[in-house]
Amino acid sequence: MVLLLAAFGIVLLGAFAQAVSGFGYALVTVPLLAAAIDPRSAVLVSALTGIGLTLVAAVRERAYAQWRVAAALTGTALLGLPVGLLVLAHAPERMLSAVIAVVVLGCVALVWFNARIRTGRLGLGMVGVLVGVLTAATGTNGPPLVAAFHSLGYDPRTFRATLAATFSGTGLMGLAGFAATGQVHLDVVRTALIALPAVPLGWWLGNLLFHRIDPVVFRRIVLVGLLGSAGAALVSLAG
């Protein structure tokens, strides 16, 4: 019961961060859930609880999304998805926990320094493949997209909407891959169902603050928290 309550609180925090900043759901939920349950289940619970959030956000913000860019990224993500599924299915738990922590730290660095990348066809294609790998292996596929959309100069509304549109496509592909490879089991589904009500609650609370909080300040707060959680995970694994 304690673990299930912890999962509810973690999902609530992730949904809140996603609503305010446009990203952060998986970056918050996966490392914290990995510490509370296990890394493989953490990726699956985050994917199962987060897909509704992104679908609803994509529909609501559809007028602001750059759908051609989202479709191109989703299509190329399909190329990287099998690699991520292999990592999730066969990596030992300690190794998977370490991979998640390292990826989170790398993602934090990308977002913290407002990284920019080449956004031509080749650049976006490479981002899409990387997003596909991360979607299945760690669930933390947002920061490469954040770097790409910063480079494209999107305003906050377009930024959040296009992220939601891309997350929707890659999230559905990821869930299909998890199901096809037999990764989804009863304990994961039960945990996801108990944590699921936290998603609309966290989004509602975050959306109330979306226009009232400095997104740069909030992003820094989220990133510092992520640094702490990923660093603590690496220390515990080393110990």
User: What does pLDDT average to over the chain?
Assistant: 84
pLDDT of residue 45: 94
- Angle ∠(212,213,217) on CA atoms, nearest 5: 170
- Asked if 142 contacts 26 with a C-beta cutoff of 8 angstroms, the reply is yes
pLDDT of residue 57: 83
Average pLDDT over residues 198-208: 88
The ranges assigned to domains in the chain are 2-238
pLDDT of residue 115: 66
CB atoms within 10 A of CB 198: 21
Reported pTM: 0.83
Average pLDDT over residues 91-110: 80
pLDDT band at residue 16 using 50, 70 and 90 as cut-offs: confident
Residue 77 has pLDDT above 90, yes or no: yes
Residues in the chain: 239
In sequence order, which residues have a C-beta less than 8 Å from that of residue 199 and are 6 or more positions away? 11, 12, 15, 49, 50, 52, 53
Residue 239 has pLDDT above 60, yes or no: no
List, for residues 19-38, the tens digit of each pLDDT value. Answer: 776 667 888 888 888 888 88
pLDDT of residue 82: 95
Q: Of residues 226 and 163, which shows the higher confidence score?
A: 163
Residue 14 has pLDDT above 80, yes or no: yes
Helix ranges (H only) for the chain are: 2-21, 25-36, 39-60, 67-90, 93-112, 121-137, 142-151, 156-180, 186-195, 198-209, 215-238
Query: Which string of DSSP letters, residue by residue, matches 41-87?
Result: HHHHHHHHHHHHHHHHHHHHTGGG--HHHHHHHHHHHHHHHHHHHHH
pLDDT of residue 198: 94
